Chains A and B, each alone.
Chain A
Amino acid sequence: MKRYAAERFIQMLVILFGTSFIIFFLFAMLPGDYIDSNVNLTPERAKELKALYGLDQPIWQRYVTWLGNVLSGDLGFSLKYQENVLSLLQKYVWNSFFVAFLALLVTWSAAMITGVISAVRKYSWFDGIVTFFVIASMAFPSFFISLLFIKWFGVDLKILPVGGMVDTGSTSSGFSYVLEAARHMILPVVILSMLGIGSLTRYFRSGMLDVIRQDYIRTARAKGLKERTVIWKHALKNALLPAITLLAFELPGLFSGAIIIEQIFGWPGVGRIQLESVHYRDYPVLMAFTLFLSCLTIVGNFLADIAYAAVDPRVRLK
């Protein structure tokens, strides 16, 4: 276990280093830097500012400086937001996290239920309809679904808010705040879930189809267990196993996949920060965010391994 953790850790460092390197140098290939985008600056002023921000140094040196700072725990200072990157991300990342997490929850539970049912009743009308909806939800661009839902639920039916995280000017706190935020979350979460649910449902369906054919399912039936127990206890737990590996890539994916949706719904998440960091060449933010996602991927992988071991006794630690 120790050796494993150590191996993982080294791998993680390599990956983090590699990713930061790739992103940094790709970013450097972009024409223009943060200062250049301000068309009104006189060349002298621009030069002054570049010196102030350290943008006049050669790219290598900038990378080394950046790396040094990161290693000493300093992620830098956002040029656009004039704020410490860490505190900046902290402001927004939780909002994204909540939506992403809920979406993950919804995606997985819905995919699990529909996947299992359509596997158990494969080729039934239920299976057909589920398949159809699953593909439909995958087939439309997210901005389109967002606008459609806003139109239906927000403007026409007026049952759900059009955007934001709380009602305008709301001062609610405690439980009513949670309720309010929850109402605002419904559409983004649903749409975000729709994006992922398709492939996952298919995945569960085929995983379940595999499991149902296994001998131990027949044994469970031969023991006279209720069909419910057989499917939702014996079969599902096994079908879940391979899916755990998928989970590792889901979370970072949700963070970066939510950009468009956050934008349209005015959800105060990191999506906009991320986009702006590219648009305005705010490289400390972009780099920090990239590192954050890389870490999430790696940590996700690691957690998936552990979760796998927790669920599957065959790989459990001794």
Chain B
Amino acid sequence: MSDVLLEVKGLKKYYEEQGGMRKARNNPVKAVDGVSFTIGKGEVFGLAGESGSGKSSIGKTILRLHDKTEGEVFFQGRDVFRMNRRELKTFRSEAQLIFQDPFSSLNPRRRIGEAIGEAMIEHQLAVKRNARDKAAEVLESCGLSANFIDRYPHEFSGGQRQRIVIARAMALKPQFIIMDEPVAALDVSIQAQMINLFSSLQQRHGLSYLFISHDLSVVEHLCTKVAIMYLGTIVEYASKEELFSRPLHPYTKALLSAVPVPDPRVKRERVMLKGDIPSPSDPPSGCKFRMRCPAAEKICAEKSPPLSEKGSQHFAACHFV
């Protein structure tokens, strides 16, 4: 493995419910419950898993949009949670986040030129005078016409907005971008355009991505390494080829088999899971997956399986693999 860009160690993020009547449950929501991984320079790391499994929470916590509960995050060797204001500001230009819904992550009352320009001004990548021109440049590099800079977000289509958001992130010349389900809100025909854009940008600028998605087919297409999450923990972690060809964890297997294939002739054997995902504020004892696991046994209720190496660079958290 080449240079390590980002290292996450034992990260936990619990959402404390505030006191008061409105929120009577006092158990914290264990959105992220002890997660470790590293992302190398130029690597695209995929994070997949069901809704509510804590993928976004990881992304936001890494960027210090929330406080962590426990654990450490190093970005280029610096501890993100120990950064002072100035360092944090630099960090903010080096690491960027792109959200699922491009529309809601754009201020509806701000022209896109301003939206891109202000970030550049803030980080001294531009001054007021040339912010407009620079913004136009960036827009063009993301495949958008430069005359768009005076428009408002609502005047664009979904795909264009996603490009704008990417342009805004790229304007700061980051090395690392967290993409939180960036294509989930897009039309089918636009998704492909975006995915292609992501890979070309990544290759052109040598970027690293933390690519969060629950669409395994997209993850497979884009990523080099993949982690599968379930209820706040990583249950399996391997290189893409490894994971998709030889899934170990029963949850990964189920997940893969549940992805519908757009071909009516293919009738795949499906691993049907019973029941629903348990609440992260009240997870089952032992292995968190055991309630739905077709192979669960007694030990699963007693001990939570550690994430251990089951093959070369292939980790899984299950007692039976």
Interface residues of A (CB under 8 A from B): 1, 3-4, 7, 305, 309, 315, 317-318
Residue of A nearest to B22 (CB): A315
DSSP class of A's interface residues: helix, strand, loop or mixed? helix
Shortest beta-carbon distance, A149 to chain B, in Å?
A: 43
Count A-B pairs with CB separation below 8 Å. Answer: 20
- Please encode chain B, from 18 to 54, with 1 for each CB lying within 8 Å of some chain A CB and 0 for all others: 0111111100000000000000000000000000000
**Interface footprint category on B:** under 10
Residue of B nearest to A5 (CB): B21
Assess the A315–B25 pair: CB atoms within 8 A. no
Complex CA gap A4/B23 in Å reads: 10
With a cutoff of 8 Å between Cβ atoms, the chain A residues found around residue B19 in the complex are: 3-4, 7
With a cutoff of 8 Å between Cβ atoms, the chain A residues found around residue B23 in the complex are: 315
With a cutoff of 8 Å between Cβ atoms, the chain B residues found around residue A305 in the complex are: 21-22
Complex CA gap A305/B22 in Å reads: 9
With a cutoff of 8 Å between Cβ atoms, the chain A residues found around residue B22 in the complex are: 305, 309, 315
Complex CA gap A191/B25 in Å reads: 45
Assess the B21–A309 pair: CB atoms within 8 A. yes
With a cutoff of 8 Å between Cβ atoms, the chain B residues found around residue A4 in the complex are: 19-21
Interface residues of B (CB under 8 A from A): 19-25
Complex CA gap A309/B22 in Å reads: 8
Complex CA gap A1/B22 in Å reads: 9
Shortest beta-carbon distance, A260 to chain B, in Å?
A: 38
- Interface core residue of B19, B21, B25 (most chain A CB under 10 Å): B21
Complex CA gap A94/B37 in Å reads: 69
With a cutoff of 8 Å between Cβ atoms, the chain B residues found around residue A1 in the complex are: 21, 24
The 9 A-B pairs at the shortest CB distance, nearest first, are namely: A4-B21, A318-B24, A315-B22, A4-B20, A3-B19, A317-B24, A1-B21, A305-B21, A309-B21
Shortest beta-carbon distance, B19 to chain A, in Å?
A: 6
20 contacts between A and B (CB under 8 A): A1-B21, A1-B24, A3-B19, A3-B20, A4-B19, A4-B20, A4-B21, A7-B19, A7-B20, A305-B21, A305-B22, A309-B21, A309-B22, A315-B21, A315-B22, A315-B23, A317-B21, A317-B24, A318-B24, A318-B25
Complex CA gap A203/B21 in Å reads: 26
Complex CA gap A62/B242 in Å reads: 82
Residue of A nearest to B19 (CB): A3
Beyond A7-B19, A315-B23, list 12 extra A-B contacts (CB 8 Å).
A1-B21, A1-B24, A3-B19, A3-B20, A4-B19, A4-B21, A7-B20, A305-B21, A305-B22, A309-B22, A315-B21, A318-B25
Complex CA gap A317/B21 in Å reads: 7
Shortest beta-carbon distance, B39 to chain A, in Å?
A: 38
